[in-house]
Amino acid sequence: MLGERSLESLIRDKGREGRRGYTLPKPDVERTDLEKVLPKKSLRKEKPGLPEVDEPTAIRHYTNLSRKNWGIDTNFYPLGSCTMKHNPRANEAAAAVPGFANLHPLQPESGARGALRVMHELQGFLSEISGLSAVSLQPMAGAQGELTSILMVKRYFEEAGDEGRTTVLVPSTAHGTNPATASMAGFKSVEVGLDEHGCVDVDELRALVDETTAALMITNPNTCGVYERNIAEIAEILHEKGAFLYMDGANMNANLGRMRPADAAVDVMHFNLHKTFSTPHGGGGPGSGAIACSEVLAPFRPDPVVERNGDGFRFARPEKTIGRVSTFHGNFGVLLKAWNYIKMHGPELRDVTDMAVLNANYVRARLRGAYRIPYDELCKHEVVVQPPKGKKALDIAKGLIDHGYHPPTIYFPLVVKEAMLIEPTETESKETLDDFVGAMLELAESTPEDLEEAPIHAPTRRLDETRAARQLKARW
């Protein structure tokens, strides 16, 4: 049996002064005396308190840490709004190819032709999938894709001399990144309410949109998993007043080959490549928040975009660019994986969406009765449910852990009390869903007392979160 200490302690506590986990090549030039070439006061006096461990200890430590972590590889992970689908290992193999892995970002274009070709093709794929003609691969996560898009809108109005555009509208179902993005871009965010289907209330929207509106940030399908059926009309309302329609495309897994944002007159959108196109989320990143936009906004895209140049490719700076959003070219490794994923699907991407939507609706149908379903109509790739009255989403979530399931997203969207947002994704089988539903039904029957102690079969019990904040200890 492993002792408590060896499982729990920090890597630094597993070392001893003088141990080393890696050997470097022997010096083949004369050693430079730092005191001779650098000002004395710039030299470090005390060495940093880093671990001093051997390689076997480091490997065992991090391997054991990984065993206290669930991923898609280990458990069903129906975390709503996150699209936790299987991450094909072919994508990892692609990113490990030395011709890409060792490619310096400032290598001249002629020496990075393959990388530029991949970016150019991916721009084309995303353009086809969205129907929007221009793409930027620069943003490094969804939130940065949002910011990029809204900054482009801002720059558009500045360029047009239209100084009165001060607000961005955000539906109450929106992900927190949307209003945070509006603020960061220097707009005031104003909330729009919902109709009885959980969709943007068109009448309320009409009353809110005026010459001060820069854009509406809509998520489609929205975070209740419901398709925004009035999206085309919404676009018209905005366009009439000269405002833009931005679409948060985090939920594009519901749209592939079934709906193209451009057809609904969306002006600009972001993709989450780390959701829809299955690049692994890595426990919190990296991601890519590539954007697509119309011709009107294309000149404002971040620097650079990839263009054809004879039979090669080049980086180009869009004419009225908002500037750079990343040091080099975005998270290229993530782009490469998404490109590979799309190539392994081609037009069959539509089947991905079909099975994702089938799975979500199946779960909805099976949970009906035992759970409250606030918008019990067709859902898209995810469904929001509520526990039976008197029961808490948190307890059910923790109970699910004891059944071996990663909990759904809970308490989001904010508009649904005790929300449990379930996104099964297309890569789960009917059997998995049936078993999961079985656990959910059992938990619906349990009393709060039954669940008070859950989880008991996890690496830790419930945590004291208040203490973490009150007595902050964020380092060794």
Partner 1 sequence: MARFTPHTDADIQEMLEAIGVETLDDLFADVSPKFEDPLDLPPVLSEYEALRDVEARAGENVSGMPIFLGAGAYDRIIPSSISAITGRGEFLTSYTPYQPEVSQGHLQAIFEFQSVISELTGLEVSNASVYEGANAVAEAALMTARLTKRDPKVAVSAGLNPRYREVVETYRVEVVELPFDGGTTDFSAVPDDVSGVFVQSPNFFGIVEDIEAASEAAHGVGALCVAVCDPISLSVLETPGNLGADVAVGEAQPLGMPLIFGGPYAGYMATHEKFVRQLPGRIAGETVDREGKLAYVLTLRGREQDIRRAKANSNICTNQAVTALAATVYAALMGPEGLREVAELSISKAHYLADRLQDVGLKLRYPEAPFLWEFAVEMPDVDRVNDALLHNNIVGGLDLGDGAMLVAVTEKRTKRELDVFVEVVANAG
Q: Which 240-259 residues touch ligand PLP, going by CB under 6 A?
A: 248, 250
**CB-based burial label for 67 (10 Å; 0-12, 13-18, 19+):** exposed
Cβ atoms of residues 437 and 363 within 8 Å? yes
Q: Which residue has the tokens 């909330």?
A: 191
Calculate the CA dihedral of residues 107, 108, 109, 111 and round it to 10 degrees. Answer: -70
Cβ atoms of residues 215 and 155 within 8 Å? no
User: Could you say which of 1, 2, 3, 30 contacts partner 1 (CB under 8 A)?
Assistant: 30
* CB nearer ligand PLP, residue 250 or residue 383: 250
* CB nearer partner 1, residue 206 or residue 366: 366
Count other C-beta atoms under 10 Å from residue 7's C-beta.
14
Calculate the CA dihedral of residues 365, 410, 401, 424 and round it to 10 degrees. Answer: 40
User: Could you say which of 119, 137, 141, 298 contacts ligand PLP (CB under 6 A)?
Assistant: 141
**C-alpha radius of gyration, the chain, whole number:** 25
Q: In what order do the strands lie in the sheet with 409-410?
A: 383-385, 420-422, 409-410
Q: Is 177 in the site for ligand PLP (CB under 6 A)?
A: yes
Site string for ligand PLP, 256-295 (x = CB under 6 A): ----------------x--------------x-x------
Q: Which of residues 258-317 bind partner 1 (CB under 8 A)?
A: 258-260, 263-264, 274, 278, 280-287, 302-303
Q: Is 84 in the site for ligand PLP (CB under 6 A)?
A: no
User: Could you say which of 211, 240, 295, 348 contacts partner 1 (CB under 8 A)?
Assistant: 348
Q: What are phi and psi of 252, to 5 degrees?
A: -65, -15
Count other C-beta atoms under 10 Å from residue 262's C-beta.
19
Q: Which of residues 323-342 bind partner 1 (CB under 8 A)?
A: 323-334, 336, 340, 342
3-state secondary structure (DSSP) of residue 450: helix
Q: Which of residues 363-422 bind ligand PLP (CB under 6 A)?
A: none
Count of residues in contact with ligand PLP, rule CB under 6 A: 13
Q: Is 81 in the site for ligand PLP (CB under 6 A)?
A: yes
81 binds, among ligand PLP, partner 1, none (CB under 5 to 8 A by kind): ligand PLP
* CB nearer ligand PLP, residue 213 or residue 219: 219
Cβ atoms of residues 223 and 194 within 8 Å? no
219 binds, among ligand PLP, partner 1, none (CB under 5 to 8 A by kind): ligand PLP
264 binds, among partner 1, ligand PLP, none (CB under 5 to 8 A by kind): partner 1
Count other C-beta atoms under 10 Å from residue 12's C-beta.
12
User: Could you say which of 135, 141, 393, 396 contacts partner 1 (CB under 8 A)?
Assistant: 141
Q: Is 399 in the site for partner 1 (CB under 8 A)?
A: no
Find the shortest distance in angstroms from Cβ 366 to partner 1: 7
Which residue type sits at 458?
A
Q: Is 397 in the site for partner 1 (CB under 8 A)?
A: yes
Of 8, 7, 17, which is closest to residue 52 (Cα–Cα)?
17
User: Could you say which of 223, 253, 255, 361 contacts ligand PLP (CB under 6 A)?
Assistant: 223
Q: Angle CA(275)–CA(195)–CA(175) in degrees, nearest 5?
A: 30
Q: What are phi and psi of 134, to 5 degrees?
A: -120, 145
Task: Report the alpha-carbon distance of residue 62 to residue 66 in Å, rounded.
Answer: 6
Cβ atoms of residues 110 and 309 within 8 Å? no
Find the shortest distance in angstroms from Cβ 83 to ligand PLP: 8
User: Could you say which of 151, 215, 224, 268 contacts partner 1 (CB under 8 A)?
Assistant: 151
User: Could you say which of 15, 78, 142, 318 contacts ligand PLP (CB under 6 A)?
Assistant: 142
Stretch that binds partner 1, among 10-18, 210-218, 239-247, 290-298 (CB under 8 A): 10-18
- Per CB under 6 A, residues contacting ligand PLP are 81, 141-143, 175, 177, 219, 223, 248, 250, 272, 287, 289
